[in-house]
Homo-oligomer: A and B are copies of this chain.
Amino acid sequence: MSQQCGNSRIAGCSFSVHPMTDQFVEYIKGSLKETDTSNVWMDTDEVTTTVRGEIEHVFDVTRAVFLRIAKTGVHTAFNATYSIGCPGDSAGDQYTGDIGEPANGLHEVKQHTSAKFSLYPMGGGDYMEVIYREIDRMKEKGIDVSAVHYATKLSGDVNDTFHGLEDVFRETERSGSSHTVMTVTMSANSPSQKEEQS
């Protein structure tokens, strides 16, 4: 089977969400059930959940799964690897029906998060200028940006953060990187953070 290219390149994300509570099963299952996944292929095993589809849908679904849990106030961690163009990837396991608009809403929800992300453009492309430009756009939205070991740290609103990350990922892909990977670690309602803010 030849690899798909161009507009039909499949994006995907392997992610996990961790509500730090005895009721973690109810939180995770509840959030996955409430999330509109009709535009993606999705599979959950005991380590991560994998979603595959168009970039906008992959980000919409992962944002919604995390935000539905975080907005309850429980301490929640989120870890994700977004990928597109992996040379070993197949054309299988993707949604092939009618593709609609991202349907998960929640854009009005205000929720603070601290995050670290790393971008690995592994297939060339003129991406450094792209990354700096997108990081500047995040700062304009009010997200605090700082450099840490092995990552860039972001602090701000969950929706703004996800949209910023989606833009970085999409624009890196557009810049010509044939294989782009982005890892994200996110935390909401952390007691460590509350101490810092108080």
- Bound together, the chains give a CA A24 to CA B151 distance in angstroms of 25
* Residues of chain B lying within 8 A (CB to CB) of residue A191: 25
- Bound together, the chains give a CA A77 to CA B20 distance in angstroms of 10
**Min CB distance, A149 to chain B, in Å?**
5
Q: Is the CB of A45 within 8 A of B120?
A: no
- Bound together, the chains give a CA A153 to CA B186 distance in angstroms of 23
Q: Is the CB of A47 within 8 A of B116?
A: yes
**Min CB distance, A48 to chain B, in Å?**
6
- Bound together, the chains give a CA A91 to CA B192 distance in angstroms of 28
Which residues of A from 17 to 50 have beta carbons under 8 Å from B? 18-22, 24-25, 44-48, 50
Q: Is the CB of B24 within 8 A of A20?
A: yes
